[in-house]
Amino acid sequence: MITFHQQADRLTLNLAAHAVSPFDAAFRRELTAAVERIEAAPPLQVVLAIDGGAASADHAGHAGHDGELDQLLALTPAQAADCMRTLADYNALLRRLDLLDKPLTATLSGAVEGHALGLALACHHRIALADASLALPQVHLGLAPVAGGLARAVRLSGLQAAMPLLIEGKTLSAAQALEAGLLHDVVADADALAGALTKQLAALPADGAAAGQPWDAKGYRPPGGALNSPALQTLLQVAPAMLRQRSRGHYPAPEAILCAMVEGLQVDFDNALLIESRYFCQCALGVVAKNLIRLGRIPAAPSARAEQFAATLRLAYLDELAQLRAEGLPAALLRHAAMAAGLAQLPPEEAAAPSGAAGATATDVVRARDRLLYAQALAALRGVDALLAGDHAQADRISVRDCGFPAHTGGALRFIATLGASQFAARAAQLGARFAPPPEWRELAE
């Protein structure tokens, strides 16, 4: 995974971004050996060259490789302490990089994301090629960035500037990352990068005095002001409400990330690492993260039958909307119900209606919400065997990707499985005879 190249006073370590994972025991062993070799070397320039390869259009691959995602899917509350110990060991390893007595420079190319970016942030100096991109997209999988990615990004960029990267999982261009304080330099190409490294080597003091991280220096203050500054106080008063409005309470990761950012700035760096680890484990143990991880890892299988399955679910949704309208429910209530469920936008004539559901009770909204969800879930039950040969994973992926079923549920069939057969059947009976599940539905839902 990690290869070495020694040339004069420069030691270069090469690794692929996708190989970086705190949960991969083999990678941890290789990184430990690499750190020990760096620590034992005489004062010189150490370069960590991280190759991110081409950017992926699917966020599922961004937050960790398949082995890590499998571990997170299997993680149980009983294993939370083991997860925390693994992260503590990895954090201690990266802290050794933070505290090296010799300068450590990261060079970044391609799409450097997730744990690979977290590792780069533990280096003292970061130079990227102009076409590189940086991201901490764990939020898209219902997770919080961990292994120092969150704590270091906040201390480098400041609380407000780090929000798009951490809470939204936004991908930054090299120029944007430079402006955010995550990079020290951006160069046009490999030749310019070599020149920048040579210039940097010539300027280094022999005793390694240029090493060290800003948050370990006496008198460090985060960019953008302290938490008690008027600007950040105003931001922190409105940010939680804005996040809840955006997620409708269905996605806990953004709020957990904000908490880790704020709480981490109130303590020393090592305790900030502990705080981010706790929020990561809290998210990873939740059902939303497990549902989102399952959906990103189901490969697409476009086919005529898949499109027919999607059309069946969309028709069920539109038919239920029409039925609700025929019963006299106002458009505003239907819009509110769909938003509360996390469903896709209503048809244009509904979406154009004013927000709010005047005259509607909370019970009306909940009932409409459940009817819209159950209509698609039942359609999925009826069609998964006939149209998708029983491929439940594809049924879930199609329901989210093509039909707007809420992603936090994991898909139309996962929605049933998460509720449990008894609870699903009881609620279906309350909604009326039209919502009676098909014969042998319990086997289909498993």
pLDDT of residue 208: 52
C-alpha to C-alpha distance for 60 and 286, rounded to whole angstroms = 17
Range in 207-221, 238-252, 262-276 the model is least confident about: 207-221
pLDDT digits over 3-14, tens only? 999 888 889 999
Asked if 127 and 198 count as a contact pair (C-beta separation under 8 A), the reply is: no
Instruction: Report domain extents, the chain.
Output: 3-290, 301-445
Rounded average pLDDT over 157-182: 96
C-alpha to C-alpha distance for 44 and 127, rounded to whole angstroms = 18
Task: Report the run of H or E that residue 139 belongs to, with start and end.
Answer: none
Residue 40: what residue type?
A: A
Angle at 138 between CA 134 and CA 141, to 5 degrees: 140
pLDDT digits over 189-227, tens only? 999 999 999 998 888 776 555 578 999 999 899 999 889
* Nearest by Cα to 270 from 20, 88, 80: 88
End-to-end CA distance of the chain: 39
Residue 67: beta bridge partners? none
59 DSSP assignment: G
pLDDT of residue 299: 85
Asked if 280 and 146 count as a contact pair (C-beta separation under 8 A), the reply is: yes
Contacts of 400 (CB under 8 A, 6+ apart): 295, 406, 407, 411
pLDDT digits over 42-92, tens only? 878 899 999 998 765 554 444 557 789 999 999 999 999 999 999 999 999
Range in 162-171, 227-236, 270-279, 281-290 the model is least confident about: 227-236
pLDDT digits over 392-404, tens only? 999 999 999 999 9
pLDDT digits over 100-149, tens only? 988 999 999 999 999 999 999 999 999 999 999 999 999 999 999 999 99
Q: In this structure, which long-range contacts are made by residues 53-58, counting pairs with CB atoms below 8 Å and at least 24 apart in sequence?
A: 53/16, 53/17, 53/18, 53/110, 53/111, 54/110, 54/111, 55/110, 55/111, 55/133, 55/171, 56/111, 58/296
What is the layout of strands, in order, in the sheet containing 185-187?
3-7, 10-16, 45-51, 104-109, 125-129, 185-187
Architecture category of domain 3-290 in CATH: Alpha-Beta Complex (3.90)
Asked if 222 and 155 count as a contact pair (C-beta separation under 8 A), the reply is: yes
204/291: higher pLDDT: 291
pLDDT digits over 332-375, tens only? 899 889 989 998 766 556 544 444 445 668 889 999 999 999 99
- Residue 369 CA: distances (Å) to CA of 287, 333, 363, 365: 20, 9, 10, 6
- Phi, psi values for residue 154, rounded to 5°: -65, -40
- The tokens describing 143, both together, are 């997770």
Q: Is 17 helix (H, G, I), strand (E, B) or coil?
A: helix
The mean pLDDT of the chain is: 90
Is-same-fold flag (3-290; 301-445)? Answer: no
C-alpha to C-alpha distance for 175 and 186, rounded to whole angstroms = 7
Helices assigned H by DSSP within 265-409: 269-284, 287-296, 304-326, 331-341, 348-351, 362-388, 392-401
438 DSSP assignment: P
pLDDT of residue 43: 78
pLDDT of residue 212: 86
pLDDT of residue 249: 86
Architecture category of domain 301-445 in CATH: Orthogonal Bundle (1.10)
pLDDT of residue 352: 47
383/354: higher pLDDT: 383
- The tokens describing 395, both together, are 């049924």
pLDDT digits over 414-445, tens only? 999 999 988 999 999 999 998 988 877 776 56
